[in-house]
Amino acid sequence: MSVQTILLDFSMDPARLGDENGQKAVFTQLETVLKEYVPNLILATDIKVDGGSLKLLTGKAGTTVSVRLFDRGLVTVNIEYYKEDNEEPLISFKSAKILEGQLNKYMSVIKSQALPPLKRCKFGRYYPTSDERLLEYDIDGVLFDEQSSFQKVQVVHSKSFGNILVLDDLQNISEADLIYTETLMQRGKESYEGKEIVILGGGDGALLYELLKEKPKYVWMLEIDELVMKACNKHLKSICGDVLERRKGPNFEIIVEDCMLTVKRFTAERRKVDYVFGDLTDIPISDEGCSELWEFMVGILRAAFDILKPSGKFMTHGNGATSPESLELYEQVLMKMKPAVTFSKCKAFVPSFMEDWIFYQIAFKETANSDE
């Protein structure tokens, strides 16, 4: 079951919509064609608004149609109706394109566009890109849906990507995203054999699972949300193996608490490690209204370097390549770090994100220069 929303946009000579009579004439043309697609269509409300008018129509089985006429030459048509899973759509994308073509000719428009139907229902199909564009996923079911003390935790199934971990309505990782983990850890470029490693976050278990294949001396994974690990252990075994079930082994341990508490203990004990992975939240897309999140990220950076060996590295994910302002803000933070650090970055196309993602490798500047 779903609520289907068909969106059509038209642009025409503004002179045709410049007054009330012109808008009525265009609407009459539009209504004539719409009645061929929506049975029993009648005008329910006609409202004059600033910059144009709004017409609300109703049709068969509760179908509603809103038509917005802008005096600057734009017309939008939104058709909305309820559809059961076993029912044929009232208007498919194919028929919406035919409707668009008919209206195009009938109203003599300059440009037009019909969008694929939006399907809004009991589980989400739509998630944003890093720069807040809308992506539609072929999700056909929800496997896990609970609220922890920290966030909403879901695992949904996609026909293309398998099971996907979704946190607070943002896609995090899927069964198709090994490239994400391998790029984060720079597999083949960094040697983890015999090394000591701290993972900040990483509740899906994928990074820990892959790092253990590299024969490290010891890995501490610091995750605050027990519910994330419960969901992934049950529904994302293909990316985390049995590490979330075992919780501890001869060369790894999962500590369930605020990662900063463990880092502070390491600092007090003067313990130093070879690598720290930041697998927590993404970099904010701007600094507006995100001061607390930026403070958190700066705090994480400073704490990570407090427990790194002079030759150590901080490895983290940034944001989408289509969010350059966000990445620039993060790099400005890095350039102001004391002691000074140097960084490199790379990108990889992450399947379930449907976009290129940026990853950072950060080290103490003096050590990096001496290595050169």
State both tokens at 173. Answer: 């990782």
Q: Compute the distance between CA of residue 137 and CA of residue 4 in angstroms, rounded to an integer.
A: 15
State both tokens at 114. Answer: 């019909």
145 closest CA partner among 115, 159, 166, 129: 166
Beta bridge partners, 278, equal 200, 316
Question: Does 339 sit behind a cis peptide bond, omega within 30 degrees of 0 on the bond before it?
Answer: yes
The phi, psi pair for 299, rounded to 5°, reads -60, -40
Catalytic residue list contains 177: no
Q: How do beta strands 42-49 and 248-249 pair?
A: unpaired
Query: Three-state SS for 168?
Result: coil
Handedness of CA 243, 247, 252, 253 (dihedral sign): positive
Q: Compute the distance between CA of residue 331 and CA of residue 275 in angstroms, rounded to an integer.
A: 20
64 closest CA partner among 91, 85, 87, 84: 91
Quickly count: other Cβ atoms within 10 Å of residue 157's Cβ.
19
Element (H, E) at 103: helix 93-107
End-to-end CA distance of the chain: give it in Å, rounded: 61
Q: What one-character DSSP code corresponds to residue 239?
A: H
The phi, psi pair for 367, rounded to 5°, reads -65, -45
- Please report, for residues 7, 168, 172, 275, 287, the alpha-carbon distance to residue 294 in angstroms, rounded to integers and kept in the order given: 37, 19, 20, 22, 7
Q: Compute the distance between CA of residue 4 and CA of residue 92 in angstroms, rounded to an integer.
A: 10
Active-site annotation holder among 279, 282, 287, 356: 279
Quickly count: other Cβ atoms within 10 Å of residue 230's Cβ.
16
Q: Which residues are catalytic?
A: 279
